[in-house]
Structure 1
């Protein structure tokens, strides 16, 4: 059995044993901000990403804009559950892949991605995010941001149309 098959089998067994997944797996209750360290989806983000988000949120607040976290770090089990729901919603693995990565390829599972809520916050990040190294990665997901430190000096790289065009998803 390969490592990814082993991870998948372990994840499926934990899902079956525990039933519904919750906050400990990365589910985010309403109203969570980037400063809410008691929420695993925030606390388990990469420290550099979290630091950039907090600096951006502090500066955005001066403009009257609040950052809410709709999603951050996710356990592999939770990512798998989200992917299954996407397949059901979109009708196929191929179409679901445009919106939700597998647990093996998701930047959320690594703590390297955050989904920011409110159109004011995503508009603010679209305009100012590169200053902090925060870049929108996918054109079809204006809420999804990842840290690209080189963006501070060079601007954000071109966006992929959706995750299916991202070479990281081809593993």
Structure 2
């Protein structure tokens, strides 16, 4: 972006933007309310169990509109310098699990050890090694553990649509 181009405005909360982390029980936040129901139920069960262990889980990102996902991808290109490098961190709207309501970004960082140890019991699995905050529902993980992680989204076959 040159200094002659206006900064792009972040889409509003109704598009799934999460300016500040929210509770997994915040039904007013589109990022939470529009999650896949099975993912949301698993997330809420995990958050309740984590709270009983003294660990707070917050949602930093969840469902996103295609417009918001496009905004994030464009910002990533600007940050990382190329589509190829941006793709290591942000999916396009047509490949993003967030747009489908099937991914959630969790925090704070202090919750990561709890999620690493207990997330599979709720079917919540970290998918990408470079994104310790990104979780998706893998129901089979309850019995079999989480599948091996991809190094980053560029290794995920779902990103090759």
Please say if 1:92 is aligned against 2:92. Answer: no
Indicate the residue corresponding to 1:151 in structure 2.
Answer: 141
Q: Secondary structure at the match of 2:112?
A: helix
Residues 102-117 of structure 1 correspond to what in structure 2 (within 5 A)?
A: 102-117=92-107
Structure that is richer in helix per residue = 1
Please say if 1:76 is aligned against 2:66. Answer: yes
Could you give the per-residue CA deviations for residues 91-110 of structure 1, whole angstroms, max 9, x where no partner exists? 00000000000000000000
C-alpha RMSD of matched pairs (Å): 0.9
Number of positions where the alignment pairs a residue of Structure 1 with one of Structure 2: 153
Q: Give, in angstroms, the shift of residue 30 of structure 1.
A: 1.3
Instruction: Please give the TM-score of this superposition, normalised by the length of structure 2.
Output: 0.93
Indicate the residue corresponding to 1:129 in structure 2.
Answer: 119
8 Å CA contact 2:30–2:63 kept in 1: the answer is yes
The list of structure 1 runs, each at least 4 consecutive aligned residues, that deviate by more than 4 angstroms after superposition, is: none
Please say if 1:49 is aligned against 2:17. Answer: no
Please say if 1:101 is aligned against 2:111. Answer: no
Q: Give, in angstroms, the shift of residue 119 of structure 1.
A: 1.3
Q: Secondary structure at the match of 2:98?
A: helix
Q: Which stretch shows the higher mean deviation, 122-131 or 145-154?
A: 122-131
Instruction: Please give the TM-score of this superposition, normalised by the length of structure 1.
Output: 0.88
Could you give the per-residue CA deviations for residues 7-50 of structure 1, whole angstroms, max 9, x where no partner exists? xxxxxxxxxxxx65110000013141100001100000000000
Indicate the residue corresponding to 2:6 in structure 1.
Answer: none
Could you give the per-residue CA deviations for residues 53-95 of structure 1, whole angstroms, max 9, x where no partner exists? 0000000001111111100000000000000000000000000
